[in-house]
Amino acid sequence: MIKPALHRFDSQLTKLSMSTSPPNSVILDIPPEYPIGSGQDPIKLGFPPLSLRTSLIDLYFQHCWNMNAVVVPRLFNNKLAQHDQVSPPLGHSDWIDFQVLLFMILARAARTTANREFCTSQNSFLEQGGCFAQVAHTLLAKCEHTPSINLIQALLEMCSYEQNGPKRFRNFMFAGMAVGSMYKLGLHKPPVDSNLSPLEIKERQVLFWMCNMRDVESSLNLHTPYKVDLSQCSVPMIEVTEVGREKRAYEWLQSISKLIMIARQFWEIPKNDGQLRKIKLNDVVELERQMTAWLQELPPDLQYRGGAKRSIDCMRLHVNFFFIKLITYQMLAEKFRTDPVLIEDDILFLYEQCILAAHGICQLYVEGDREWLFWHNFHYIAILQCVDMHMRDVRMAIRRGTDIEDAFCWLTKSTHLLCEALNERPLMDHDEATLIFNEVLKFWGVAATLIDEPTADFRDTKEFLDICFPEKSDRKFVVISVEPTQQTGDKNEGSKGKMDPAGATESNYLHMTRRFMKLLETEATHIIKMET
């Protein structure tokens, strides 16, 4: 039985899973001659009518492409026009790889609609667009061993689609297939074909860096060696020469690729943990220097300046920055365990960087949440990491007897964000998310009872390390993802500069916490009665 404290979340999650769409989704007109969603096999229906296809492709470039620029728009449109001119049947050997790509683009675009006809299950928004993805997977089985530019693009789109699906870990399989095809085509080397146009050269560069990004994500999640050996690759970083929407998309891709290159230096994932090299404080200082330089070198439109007008893709990029920084310092702390001489100041520096990164993520989500209309698992996972760090910070504050209220304020803020994710966002696994939130509430209640009675400070460095960074951390929630959500509009709001937990906003959260804790105490009484 779900405890009374979680009844409201369970009912809202049930309502969410049965909802027709995320907020602000569009509803497209489905021509009667295309009865998709009627139970017929989608592959037998063939291509969607031109009007529906055009609407979906427009939605793709409006909502999905800007931070996941897998295709070069002009080249894709040229290929689409050639496909229409030839008009090959579905599954034609000369066009099958492009058709896989086309249907995956339709599947991703369908995610931004409220049309239940596109969903393979009437019970979950997570499978929205599944009808188109089903066609793409059927076609993929016939061409997966014949690498091509179109095939790599289709596989990368499958990664993005599965990232937000019930079978999320399938995206790592598609990432591996994309990397393998990339090597077979030689995209890790300068092109040997002198007849390639500048756009075609850029297309190849984009695919290499996106494959590298997906490889890093897969290796970190699966704890396997990298497939992309950068020492054997000679592809220059993407240059941005475009204007308008394309300029912003490629600036975003360039920036996130450079950030992952920095972090990857310290994300050693060998075949066994015994190969981990020792990390010294100088390495940490160098990491901080490179990350600071990355921030300073960002294009003007992606700079996060206090008092300046900030775009949503700018805020989204900085969420990725703080998240990557957070898990990088967590991994460095794990490596410190191999050092026979632990220095408490070094551990404290790593710990403080993790806490500041968690503060940054929370603040950005609070500022930008209303503009991010389409969420996916990355948001939930990022917030979950913040909750984890803020729980540790409360534990540390209570132990040392200082800054307890500030730590509790930030825990309250991240817990409210987690609550919002539970109530309003489609998640991969609602039951698992509810159980996690239940544990967070338990910790919250315990912290509230101890907040006025801190224990004495402690000096043992080993204990300090174990409290800051528990040795048995749950890594299945550590996910690097730079997937796009819908990015619309700009938000003109002053930045708070430093992530200072003191202030009116935090006071309001503390007030809400106290009210919520009273509710938990009341419900705890009911729980005790039920259990007895």
Dihedral in degrees, nearest 10, Cα atoms 278, 281, 283, 287:
130
Residue pair 20/453 in contact (Cβ under 8 Å)? The answer is no
Residues 253 and 238: beta-carbon distance below 8 Å: yes
CB-side exposure of 348: number of CA atoms within 13 Å?
A: 9
Angle of CA points 511, 513, 516, to nearest 5° = 115
| Beta bridge partner(s), residue 343 | none
* CA gap 313, 325 in Å, rounded: 18
Residues 75 and 415: their CA atoms lie apart, in Å, by 45
pLDDT along the chain (532 residues), means of 10: 37 44 69 83 91 95 87 96 96 96 95 80 66 94 95 95 70 93 95 90 96 89 84 90 88 92 75 53 82 91 70 82 88 73 76 91 75 61 88 83 81 81 60 76 74 51 62 39 35 35 36 43 44 44
Please say whether the dihedral angle defined by the alpha carbons of residues 493, 496, 501 and 505, taken in this order, is positive or negative.
Answer: negative
Q: What's 386-439 look like in SS3? A: HHHHHHHHHHHHHHHCCCHHHHHHHHHHHHHHHHHHHHHCCCCCHHHHHHHHHH
Locus of tokens 């609609």: 113
Nearest to 469 by CA among 399, 363, 395: 395
pLDDT value of residue 71: 96
Sequence-distant (≥ 6) Cβ neighbours of residue 139 within 8 angstroms:
90, 91, 96, 99, 100, 103
According to DSSP, the β-strands at 490-492 and 309-311 are antiparallel
Q: How far is CA 7 from CA 12, 14, 438, 448, 532, in A?
A: 9, 11, 11, 22, 20
Rounded Cα gap, residues 529 and 513, in angstroms? 24
Q: Write down the H helix ranges in 265-306.
A: 281-296
The DSSP 8-state label assigned to residue 239 in this structure reads P
pTM comes to 0.78
Other Cβ atoms within 10 Å of 63 Cβ, number: 23
pLDDT of 121: 62
**Per-residue pLDDT, 134:** 92
Alpha carbons within 13 A on the beta-carbon side of 520: 18
Q: Is 15 exposed, middle or buried (0-12, 13-18, 19+ CB in 10 A)?
A: exposed
Rg of the Cα atoms in the chain: 24
Ranges of beta strands (E only) in 238-393 are 309-311
What is the predicted pLDDT for the residue at 161? 87
Residue 204: half-sphere exposure toward Cβ, Cα within 13 Å:
21
The pLDDT assigned to 69 comes to 92
CB 6 within 8 A of CB 434: yes
